[in-house]
Amino acid sequence: MRLLSAIAAASLLASCALGRASDRPAPAQPGAPAEPPPEQVVFADSSAPAAGADGTQAHPFRTLASALAAVRPPATVRLAVGLYLGEAVVPGDVRIEGERTAVIYAGGTGTTLRLEDGASLHGLTVQGGAVGAEVKGAVRIEEVAFSGQRQRAIAVSDHGALALIDADIEGTVSETRGVVLEEGARAEVTGGRFHGGLRIGVEAKAGTSLRVDHAVFDGPVVALKADRSDLAATGLRISGGRGPAISLSGTRASLRDIVIHGHEYGLLANAGAVLDVRDFTTVRAERAGIGGVEVRGEIDGLVALDSGNFGAVQLISSTATVRRFIIARAQNAGISVNGGDVTLIDGSIVDVSDPADAEGDGVSVRHAGLRGTALTEARVSGTGVLAAEASRVAVAEAAIASARYGGLHAETRARLDAVSAIVRGGGNAALVVLHDARLRADALETAQNAQGLLWAECGAGAEVWLGRVRGAEAHAVHAACAGRWLRPALLDPFATEQPDEE
């Protein structure tokens, strides 16, 4: 019996041992990835006692420098409300976070924070320093306020990559720039506000790539400046500045849903800039809503209201298409073209004035080629369409009302063709041809023009060819230089040579 009891007890112990062994985790397989260590969290509180500080929530470090010295990335440094001396380097895979009342500061000549590849900031305030944050590598800055910098709030170094989200950047020192991208850098700016006395909100230097979405610029002299770079901007609201709202030099730019109030120009582009603009609104530009010198591209969906003394759109030596535009209350000209080739499609120009009582044309073309289709003009203090100085202009489907100095006007070796046009209520003749210019018109309707259908300087070499003309004024053509346009076909304003056959 004793032997049987001993055997039973041994069997029971063995089964229990086997059960406990089956509850143990299986050993790791060779080559399996190790579990990442838990992220370190280091606490800092500028009001905490220095004695006994170990970076825990119960015993936080008193300074940012102490907290950064203790981190082992990946790590987060959490700042309590207070002031923290900066001039520090934030290593990669380290995040500093806090409320806006957690302020990292530096003196006037230093850099408040240097952010290495993989570093990030969230929620706090960066104050003072010549530079607020220097970005090296890929860095994320979210919901952070910058103020008091003397040179730049954020400087993105060569080959740096910045993600800036919902930041508040205030210029409190004259000539400060908000975000500056050095050559080879790239940045994506999403949301946020740039305000105060900033010289430039965001500046992209040569060889950079910049995207700005749904940001507000209220006060910077220039909101965006890009030089020989790639720019994409969507949903911007810009106001309160004295210089060009957007300034582009040799830049390839995509602009969408932009609204600008004030500024010297809404958009100023030059030096071979390539434009792809959609839904662009400019109100009360001091000089012009859009100014372009040696640019090319397309502007679709332009609204320009109350533009200043350079008109709503001023294009010089440019190749561009402007379509679906509304221009109202511009000074000196609705659209002014000097050199280059421009196409206008489906646009309205009303209430163009000239305080000096000298110009005020709806469309003014000099030394250039222009093709216009589906154009409407009303109440312009100059001419409806002016072709001058050897320009080549072709207009189709145009309606011009109340143009003070004539609906269609050609002078100084210009060539102007119009097909399917209506000219009414002008203060001069419907058609005006001066000097050695040529004007041809077909399917033309005129009425109530103060000087009738035509006024031409035949003795100076003016040349007029008319096809079908309707209206009471059609029968009052007595100019010796007016002939019959037998085979109406619009000239090609962009061709270097034009046939003279009628």
pLDDT digits (tens, 9 = 90+) for 445-466: 999 999 999 999 999 999 999 9
Mean pLDDT for the stretch of residues 231-245 = 98
Rg (CA), the chain: 35
Report pLDDT for 357.
Answer: 75
First to last CA, the chain: 134
The values of phi and psi at residue 245, to 5°, are: -65, -45
Mean pLDDT for the stretch of residues 434-445 = 95
Say which range, 84-88, 198-202, 356-360, has the weakest mean pLDDT: 356-360
Report pLDDT for 38.
Answer: 72
Angle at 233 between CA 228 and CA 235, to 5 degrees: 160
Q: Say if residues 179 and 187 touch (Cβ distance below 8 Å).
A: yes
Mean pLDDT for the stretch of residues 130-156 = 98
Report pLDDT for 3.
Answer: 38
**13, pLDDT greater than 70:** no
CA distance 261 to 241: 9
Q: Is 191 helix (H, G, I), strand (E, B) or coil?
A: coil
Residues in the chain: 502
Tally Cβ neighbours within 10 Å of residue 99: 13
Mean pLDDT for the stretch of residues 49-70 = 96
**397, pLDDT greater than 80:** yes
Residue 85: which pLDDT band, with cuts at 50, 70 and 90? Answer: very high
Type and span of the H or E element at 439:
strand 438-447
Alpha carbon separation from 90 to 64, 93, 259, 440 (Å, rounded) = 10, 9, 37, 72
Report pLDDT for 405.
Answer: 94
CA distance 491 to 417: 7
**293, pLDDT greater than 60:** yes
Q: Say if residues 395 and 418 touch (Cβ distance below 8 Å).
A: yes
Report pLDDT for 472.
Answer: 74
Residue 385: which pLDDT band, with cuts at 50, 70 and 90? Answer: very high
Amino acid at position 21, single letter = A
Q: Per residue in 170-223, pLDDT tens?
A: 999 888 999 999 999 999 999 999 999 999 999 999 999 999 999 999 999 999
Token pair belonging to 365: 């073309």
Burial 484-498 (b: 16+ CB within 10 A, else e): ebeebebbebbeeee
Report pLDDT for 479.
Answer: 77
CA distance 312 to 336: 8
Token pair belonging to 12: 């029971």
Token pair belonging to 109: 């000549």
CA distance 65 to 349: 62
Spacing of C-alpha 224 from chain mean position: 7
**278, pLDDT greater than 90:** yes
Report pLDDT for 31.
Answer: 54
Mean pLDDT for the stretch of residues 287-297 = 98
Q: Per residue in 402-436, pLDDT tens?
A: 999 999 999 999 999 999 999 999 999 999 999 99
Residue 476: which pLDDT band, with cuts at 50, 70 and 90? Answer: low
Mean pLDDT for the stretch of residues 138-146 = 98
Q: Number of H helices and number of E strands within the chain?
A: 2, 44
Report pLDDT for 186.
Answer: 98
Burial 183-200 (b: 16+ CB within 10 A, else e): eebbbbbbbbbbbbebbb
Report pLDDT for 301.
Answer: 99
CA distance 172 to 166: 19
Strand partners, 95: 76, 120
CA distance 273 to 251: 5
Report pLDDT for 423.
Answer: 97
CA distance 393 to 419: 11
**10, pLDDT greater than 70:** no
The values of phi and psi at residue 52, to 5°, are: 75, 10
Residue 35: which pLDDT band, with cuts at 50, 70 and 90? Answer: low
Type and span of the H or E element at 9:
helix 2-22
Instruction: Supply the mean pLDDT for the chain.
Output: 92
Report pLDDT for 16.
Answer: 42
**25, pLDDT greater than 50:** no
Report pLDDT for 475.
Answer: 67
Mean pLDDT for the stretch of residues 302-306 = 99
Mean pLDDT for the stretch of residues 107-133 = 96
Report pLDDT for 17.
Answer: 43
Report pLDDT for 20.
Answer: 43
CA distance 260 to 270: 19
Angle at 175 between CA 169 and CA 180, to 5 degrees: 55
Q: Which of 56, 63, 108 minimizes the C-alpha distance to 82?
A: 63
Query: In terms of DSSP bridges, do strands 193-196 and 125-128 run parallel, antiparallel, or are they unpaired?
Result: unpaired
Q: Is 319 helix (H, G, I), strand (E, B) or coil?
A: strand
CA distance 431 to 417: 11
